[in-house]
Amino acid sequence: MGHFETYQKSLFAGVVERTNSFPSFDIERFLKHFDKHCGGEISISTDRLLAFRELSAPVGFVIADSLSSWHSAVRVNSYFKAFDVKQDLFSNTEVSDLEVLWQLRHSIVHTGAWLTVPDAKKVRRLSKLGDKPIVFDSMFINAVCRRFHRIVKNANQRLLADCTLLLGPSPLSGVIPDFQAFLAVKSPYVTWL
């Protein structure tokens, strides 16, 4: 789940870095989206910014790092809407799967792999499973890996389709191949895709 959070942040950061190729990108509208739809404006604290002083941190990464709620697929969908993409990054089915996985992760880390009743009630698909231990069979990790492959592939394909439209009718040479390379999904397990 930690790697998936990093994937989401890196994806967001990479699109921020590439918005200079979107002819209609409006910085003010981008920032207002967060204030209106994402629970508050983007706020980067000075101490958090200074933490990057030894690094060469891209602006997109600094912004992505300042956002919270990466454990909410609904919120992540909203973050990407700030770019003026039309499709959700994650489909309804993927949002539902991610809600379950994030809650399981939370319960493993914070309640010793016990799904408490209050935690179970937070996620519709888990609502009747409260007050029970979380036990995985031997195929769980394999199944999660396969699911993440499809989620990432689908999300990146949707994002590529929308970003290609945002590039306008005549993007500069090399911009589309850059987006294609950035959003390419490869795996040693091609059948999982």
pLDDT tens, per residue, the chain with 193 residues = 999 999 999 999 999 999 999 999 999 999 999 888 877 778 888 888 888 888 878 899 999 999 989 999 999 999 999 999 999 999 999 999 999 999 999 999 999 999 999 999 999 999 999 999 999 999 999 999 999 999 999 999 999 999 999 999 999 999 999 999 999 999 998 888 8
Tell me the C-alpha distance between 75 and 105, whole Å. 18
- What single letter denotes the amino acid at residue 140? F
pTM of structure: 0.92
Q: 82 near 63, Cβ under 8 Å?
A: no
DSSP single-letter state for residue 181: H
Which element (helix H / strand E) includes 1?
Answer: none
147, 97 contact by CB (below 8 A): yes
Supply angle C-alpha 118, 121, 126, rounded to 5. 120
**How do strand 114-115 and strand 132-133 relate by DSSP bridges?**
antiparallel
